[in-house]
Amino acid sequence: MSKQPHLVIAAGGTGGHMFPAQALAEAMLDRGWRVTLSTDARGARYTSGFPDAVTVTRVNSATFARGGLIAKALVPLSIVAGIAAAKWRFMTDRPTVVAGFGGYPSIPAIAAAWVLRIPRMIHEQNGVLGRVNRVFAPRVNKVACGTWPTDLPSGIDGIHTGNPVRAAILDRHNAPYPSATGGPLNILVMGGSQGARVLSDVVPEALTLLPKDLHPRLHVSHQARPEDLARVTDAYTLAGIDADVQTFFSDVPECMSAAHLVIMRAGASSVADVSIIGRPSILIPFAAATADHQTANARGLVDAGAALLIKESALDPPTLCEQIRAILTDAPHAAQMAANALSTGKPDATERLAALVERLAERRA
């Protein structure tokens, strides 16, 4: 058996869980560790970006959020079976450290590590612990927080590591804020994978309400759902506003670094991106997010004076128009907001997570 230190990463089947897990896997491979990813069939669909050196292990898991009554009744049995299988694997190939990134598929590995007293940690991307991470927070050695502050259970101390971001975002860390005097005013609108329709409903009209002398200077990059593309494009065309409306922007890092203002949801990854590049933002948290975690995600940028927050229930074109106008017509203030955003970023988030893993390994030794 290899004498290399061995990290088991346990992560659920969403991009929010899997991307920071991938970043940590890459960093630990670079440090000479052996890495295993423990996930379920759904999570396995996100593993194509992981290095080939990472061993992918599928576990039995399930969630109470999907399926009928019979499926929900079988969830505990599936989880118990997954824990038993993980415990057996760990007894035959004992990890040095186990790191969980949330989601039901992370339960077997973290639970088995707890039973076997293997050093273990969790990483929470959002400002509110997810259901699984909340259960395990008192049962792990370290709780790493991607968003700060994070709502933690009483008696639990978190470590602010930040959320890892893509290399393309890191390449634009601290990109100079573009001049807003006389030239184009670039606005990036990102709705995220859920609830983007409200931004398509409100943002074009809000921009139309801006003073007419600003219209020729505006350039908007607007992410919209496929069913909204035509009407959003037509709204900008009718207002005489230059806009590029797409369902997906492959060049988000470039668009964000060129932006004078970002209007977006407050997903953990988006908040991390805007803090690494450093741009003013108007945040509209997704109202249906579990435990209102997007409002918690926005707190750090808002408290730093880097962002304005508008609750979805209070979002309407006149309100949004006034906030946009206040930022775009005050270039020094906008530049200061950009600097404030940058001050909240953690460009070394991946290295912080890797260092935390190695400290846990030293503790075991």
For 223-258, the pLDDT digits (tens) are 999 999 999 999 999 999 999 999 988 899 999 999
Question: What pLDDT was estimated at residue 64?
Answer: 47
pLDDT in tens, 129-140: 999 999 999 999
Confidence at 194, pLDDT banded by 50, 70, 90: low
Beta sheet of 6-10, edge-to-edge order = 55-58, 34-39, 6-10, 97-100, 120-124, 142-145, 158-160
Question: What pLDDT was estimated at residue 2?
Answer: 58
> 167-176, 184-193, 345-354 — which is least confidently predicted?
184-193
Distances in Å between the alpha carbon of 227 and those of 125, 224, 234? Answer: 30, 8, 13
Q: How many CB atoms lie within 10 A of CB 363?
A: 11
Higher pLDDT, 224 or 194: 224
Mean pLDDT of 294-318: 97
Question: What pLDDT was estimated at residue 79?
Answer: 80
Mean pLDDT of 283-290: 92
Q: Which residue has the tokens 């759902």?
A: 225
pLDDT at residue 77 is higher than 80: no
Task: Please give the structure tokens belonging to residue 29.
Answer: 């491979």
pTM: 0.89
Chain centroid, CA 24 distance in Å: 15
Confidence at 260, pLDDT banded by 50, 70, 90: very high
Mean pLDDT of 307-317: 97
Confidence at 112, pLDDT banded by 50, 70, 90: very high
- 265, 195 contact by CB (below 8 A): yes
Burial 53-89 (b: 16+ CB within 10 A, else e): ebeebbbbbbbeeeeeeeeeeebeebbeebbebbbeb
Mean pLDDT of 195-207: 91
Higher pLDDT, 63 or 292: 292
Look at residue 72 and give its three-state secondary structure.
helix
Question: What pLDDT was estimated at residue 61?
Answer: 60
